[in-house]
Amino acid sequence: MPSGLTLLSMDAKKGAKARPPVLCVHGMFGGAWQFEGWLPLLAERGYEAQSLDLRGHHGSRPVGDVGKLSVHDYVEDALEVARALGNPVIIGHSMGGLIAQKVAEAGAVRAAVLLCAAPPRGIVVTSLPLIGRQLKHLPNMLRSRPLVASRSDADWLMFNRTPPEEADTVFERLVPESGRAGREMSFGMIGVAAQRVTCPVLSVTAADDRFVVPRIGRALAKKYGADHFVADGHAHSVISEPGYAKVASRVIDWLDKVVR
């Protein structure tokens, strides 16, 4: 694996039908740990499962100033791992979903799953409630300084379908995020050429997502001619909140149909 990047890994279950490797990519403030529940579900179905810590997160490829990291830096991390794995499936959540789109654009994966994914240029990410929550972070975004999630914002944007005691545990594991990357996503500075995304794509929308609102998942499906489903009763933390295993199962069912 590429030097300095840390991953969580789980081998495919012995005796299961051989499937391609899967690379999972987390979103803002997160880490590989957010897919801890997905890895055994993938492995059980025959997929060698990897979850990546992007640089500057949880000790992975340390950087001097996380605030100055670009989404393109994160894409470079995911591309390195994807190429080392040899044409895997990629599953990206939130910012990781935008990274997954860029990796698919580069032709480095055989399928892409976009979970509550941040959109590329041309699809507006902001909503009025989100703008209200972002304003306090605007100076740090404009100056490429680290962003730190507040508990009140996390509760409203990400944990609205997560029990408080579980939210406590998740919040404690969040880390500072790049102000530059936040600016690039908020202002639509990262483009993806849809015609270069030739692999199968699945867009998953969480019906109660306040961070990446449902219209974005529909717009992504339209952009890529992708399959799409709505996870009813779920919010932005769809990868870890109660009921995530059913969502993961639907994703894996789709993978079984489209990848060889």
The per-residue pLDDT for range 53-111, each reduced to its tens digit, is 999 999 999 999 999 999 999 999 999 999 999 999 999 999 999 999 999 999 999 99
Q: Is the sign of the CA dihedral 120, 230, 179, 96 positive or negative?
A: negative
Nearest to 93 by CA among 257, 192, 241, 253: 241
pLDDT band at 185 (very low <50, low <70, confident <90, very high): very high
Q: What is the pLDDT of residue 134?
A: 80
In angstroms, the CA 194 to CA 4 distance is: 31
The per-residue pLDDT for range 30-40, each reduced to its tens digit, is 999 999 999 99
Residue ranges per structural domain of the chain:
6-255
Please say if the pLDDT value at position 130 is more than 90: no
Q: Is domain 6-255 in CATH 3.40.50.1820, yes or no?
A: yes
pTM value is: 0.97
In angstroms, the CA 46 to CA 248 distance is: 14
Please say if the pLDDT value at position 231 is more than 90: yes
In angstroms, the CA 138 to CA 183 distance is: 8
Place of tokens 């040899």: 86
Residues 239-249: b if buried by 16+ CB within 10 A, e if exposed: bbbeebeebbe
